[in-house]
Amino acid sequence: MIAIQDLTFTYKNGKTPALQDICLSVPSGGFLGIIGPAGAGKTTLLRAITGVIPHHYTGDFYGSVHVNGMDTVDTSLDRLSGITGMVFQDVESQIIFPTVEDEILYGLENFGVPREEIPLRISEALHKVGIPDLLERSIASLSGGQRQKVAIASILALKPQVLVLDEPTGELDPGSSRQIFTILKELNEEGVTIVLVEQKIMLLCEFAKDLAVLDGGHVVLQGETRKVLTQVEKLQSVGVNCPRVTTLSHLLTERIGRQQPVCVNLDEAERMVRGLMK
């Protein structure tokens, strides 16, 4: 679904490349989590996937990005955005309209969703993120978390084939964050391809099928989530804090000098400790 080959990108007013020699691919129906320190280029990578790089943010673009077989450089942003929906990192700049209803209507109207289908799409999207009662409210009267949910709902309503989210739970409480991830998982099971930047590693471990770790514009690690998590030292060297179970189980196996895969959740840790005590 998404194929990135040797992508190197430097923003027009940037001195060093924000992304360097990126090779990544996400199959149709994949769920890729991206993590990395501030300024690693995570947002830039998502922009390249959605096509706003190079269509809106210009600069030196080498390599290629294909989405659904289309080269993002040759395809218009309008066509690309019919396939890919993006939830921005900064909610304030994603929301364009003063009321919730207008915000959600906007995309539906533009992409020509049939008139009779629109009310259903709106209520579905709002129900999914758990804010059906906010439809008539003005954005100014909402909390940060509510705004984030509106932003997510406005993209979900469009039913994109590829969903790209940049730290969608940054303003949310743990309960709501989990709720959003559960929705994403459901969509993913329905066949939607998901790419998401997230700092809450526990959630990533649990939901993402694959993981890519970015640092300084490079992909330093990528692969199946569990495989990536076993590289505890490498993760820590780029400042990604592994879940505590992972770190602890890793420390434990190292101390006792045994080769054993790391654990990613409590159940596994329990099983390992029991196994060791036998």
Partner 1 sequence: MNKLFQYVPGNSLIHRLNPVTKIALTVVICAAAFITDHLLFLVCLLAIDLLIGLIAGVAGRTWSIFRGLVKIAAFLFLLQVLLTRAGNPIFWIITDHGLLTAGKVVLRLIVVCMPLTLVLAVTRISDLTNAMVQVLHVPYPYAFTVSTAIRFIPQFLEEMSGIMEAQTARGVAFDQAKGFKKFSMILPLCAPLLISSVRRTDQMAVAAEARGFHLRTRASAYKQYGFSTGDLLTAVFCILLLAAAILL
Ligand X SMILES: Nc1ncnc2c1ncn2[C@@H]1O[C@H](COP(=O)(O)OP(=O)(O)OP(=O)(O)O)[C@@H](O)[C@H]1O
Pick from 1, 7, 18, 204: which binds ligand X (CB under 6 A)?
Answer: 18
What is the C-alpha to C-alpha distance for residues 217 and 97, in angstroms, rounded to an integer?
33
Which residues are registered as beta bridge partners of 19? 9
Pick from 38, 140, 256, 277 the residue near ligand X by CB under 6 A.
38
| CA separation, residue 95 to residues 36, 101, 147, 152, 247 (Å) | 26, 11, 8, 10, 39
- Rule CB under 6 A: say whether 13 interacts with ligand X: yes
Residue 174 interface partner, choices Mg ion, ligand X, partner 1, none, CB cut-off 5-8 Å depending on type: none
Q: Is 93 in the site for ligand X (CB under 6 A)?
A: no
Binding of ligand X by 62 (CB under 6 A): no
Nearer Cβ to ligand X (13/259): 13
The distance of closest approach from Cβ of residue 42 to ligand X in the complex, given in angstroms and rounded to an integer, is: 3
Query: Which of 233, 265, 257 is CA-nearest to residue 276?
Result: 257
Query: Given the complex with partner 1, which of 100 and 213 has the nearer CB atom?
Result: 100
Element (H, E) at 31: strand 31-35
Q: How many alpha carbons fall within 13 Å on the CB side of residue 134? A: 29
User: For the chain, how far is it from start to end, CA to CA, in angstroms?
Assistant: 47
Which of Mg ion, partner 1, ligand X, none does residue 109 bind to, with CB < 5 to 8 Å depending on kind?
partner 1
Per-residue binder mask for Mg ion (CB under 5 A), 88-107, x = binder: -x------------------
